[in-house]
Amino acid sequence: MKQFIICSLLLASLSSMAQKKTKLDPAAAAINATKEATINSLNASYEANKKTALQIWDFAEVGYKENKSAALHVQHLKAAGFTVETGVAGIPTAFVATYGSGSPAIGILAEYDALPGLAQNAVPEKSIIEGKNAGHACGHHLFGTASVSAGIAIKELIAAGKLKGTIKVYGCPAEEGGSGKVFLVRAGLFNDLDAVIHWHPSDVNGVSTTSALANKSAKFKFYGIAAHAAQSPEQGRSALDAVEAMDNMVNMMREHIPQETRIHYVITNGGKAPNVVPDFAEVYYYVRHPKRKEVVEIFDRVVKAAEGAAMGTGTTMKYDIIGGTHDLLINKTLAEVMQSNLEKVGGVNYTEAEKAFAKTIQPSLMGAPIDIESSSKIKPLSFVMDGSNTGSTDVGDVSYSKPTVGLRAATWVPGTPAHSWQAVAAGGTEIGTKGMLVASKTMALTAIDLMSNPALIQKANEEFKASIGDYKYKALLGDIKPALNYRD
């Protein structure tokens, strides 16, 4: 009997302890209440944010030319009470919007540049918009809008006394090849932050846990001598021959570089008439590799190929660096925080009309169709570096400046690749804007956690310092000015 009484008392004690544990302490309960209020606030502003995103989808302005897109974001941030500095880092369409003071200071990145070509109607069949020369094939109209709306949501919490600290929204132009954020990093605009949050449109929902390829790009310009191609070809020196000779040498070089390397090029000027020996030709190159050191070395070999091509064809050559980005550092501490918030927010549920859109567009995609319902799911957190991310981003340079975390949200029909007409089409519908809402909520909730828990920021910064080691950041693009006309 005595043993029975002792066991009963022990079980009662354990039960009482378990009940206490399931009860949130007042601070945690307050954070949860703040998060719920923020979710409701972003739900309430969805229609206005959808309108903004679709306006910018329609603007479709390319890198460093995003005048109307940047101005619209600046207008909304100023109306919300932010102090906005425009034209930062020597870029007319870059801005920094600030609200609050002191620590913690959290930055949110916003992009809004479109890609040349790919002007597509918001329909599930290929339908080019005549008279337009660009399209949002990477979803940056959604990117910028979600980031601005998340920043405004945090500002409202600071203004209401629910949070203390500083929120900054960074207007980041020309991510697509222009390396816009590199110039912001180089100008020291992230130096006073504790952490940086970003996202990207995708066909899945998940926290980013794989790195990106370092990248260096340039336009190689060859100068020859014009002549009549039939009457006096011996008097000409073809700049186009030089471009083709360079391309041939670089293509032969592919056998003798690390297999993870990616090299791409387009001839941006090959002459004007077949019967005129071209006295000018230009080719635009990207060099990518997981390691920044390898990128620099391989790029230097590409330069040697250009020099050899010029020598062999009797032309002259010069090149202009356009961009250069670091690989992306992953911060596990921040990723775990963002994962918990993404799981709280949940994925995207399609209406029957949206499912019909998805089923119509899927046959145009490569590979077997992916379950449309996958957009409602959240990918589990995994830090296995499988090399699946073969893109590049100037967020990489930001991640070498401050602890950085990002997510992907399902804004496209499952199976859709970025930089495709299918991405433009979905991005112009509620398939895109619903995913944008997932991103804005997740970023805002993550910012709430970071601004409410200094220990998280300290742990993230310790991890960041360990990742950096003794590396002293240096921009891969050197000390050049932004190539504001690189899309011309």
Q: Which CATH number covers residue 34?
A: 3.40.630.10
DSSP bridge partners of 321:
218
339 and 458 assigned to the same domain: yes
Neighbours of 297 (CB within 10 A): 14
Cα–Cα distance, 134 to 143 (Å, whole number): 17
Looking at the structure of the chain, the number of domains it has is 2
pLDDT the model gives residue 27: 83
Which residues, 6 or more positions from 120, have their beta carbon under 8 angstroms from its beta carbon?
126, 127, 128, 129, 135, 137, 421, 424, 425, 428
Q: Which residues of 454-480 are buried (b: 16+ CB within 10 A; e: fewer)?
A: eebbebbbebbeeeeeeeeeebbbeeb
Q: Do residues 199 and 54 share a domain?
A: yes
Q: 381-432, pLDDT tens digit by residue?
A: 988 765 556 789 999 999 999 999 999 999 999 999 999 999 999 999 999 9
Residue 23: which pLDDT band, with cuts at 50, 70 and 90? Answer: low
pLDDT at 4: 45
> Average pLDDT, stretch 351-355?
97
Cα(124)–Cα(354) distance, integer angstroms: 10
Q: Is residue 483 part of a domain?
A: no
Indicate whether 306 and 161 sit together in one domain: no
Indicate if 234 and 306 belong to the same structural domain: yes
Percent of the chain with pLDDT over 70: 94
With respect to residue 244, please indicate whether it lies within any of the assigned structural domains: yes
**196 and 59 within one domain:** yes
Peptide bond into 104 cis (omega under 30): yes
Half-sphere exposure of 55 (CA within 13 A, CB side): 16
205-220: pLDDT as tens digits: 999 999 999 999 999 9
Give the model's confidence band at 26: pLDDT under 50 very low, under 70 low, under 90 confident, else very high: confident
pLDDT (tens digit, 9 = 90+) per residue, 144-181? 999 999 999 999 999 999 999 999 999 999 999 999 99
Are residues 56 and 192 located together in one domain of the fold?
yes
Asked if the structure places residue 18 within a domain, the reply is: no
> Quick one: which of 244, 254, 248, 242 has its CA closest to 298?
254
151 in the same domain as 31: yes
Same domain for 426 and 312? Answer: no
Q: Supply the pLDDT for residue 17.
A: 47
Last residue of a domain, one of 271, 301, 325: 325
Containing domain of residue 337, as a range? 26-211+327-468
Q: Are residue 225 and residue 186 in the same domain, yes or no?
A: no
Would you say residue 486 lies in a domain? no
Residue 337 has pLDDT above 90, yes or no: yes
Last residue of a domain, one of 325, 349, 366: 325
Neighbours of 218 (CB within 10 A): 22
Token pair of 474, please? Answer: 């240096």
Same-domain status, 46 and 104: yes
Residue 137 lies in a domain: yes
The gap from C-alpha 45 to its chain's centroid, in whole angstroms, comes to 23
In-domain check, residue 485: no
CB 115 within 8 A of CB 137: yes
* Residue 286 scores a pLDDT above 60: yes
Cβ-count burial 303-324 (b if 16+ within 10 Å, e if not): bebbeebbeebebebebebbbb
- Closest-CA residue to 211 (of 62, 397, 483): 397
Q: Give the predicted TM-score (pTM) of the model.
A: 0.91
- CA–CA separation, 449 vs 155, rounded Å? 14
Query: For residue 15, is it within any domain?
Result: no
Degrees to nearest 5, angle at CA 227 with 223 and 229: 115
Residues 160 and 91 in one domain: yes
Pair 341, 351 in one domain: yes
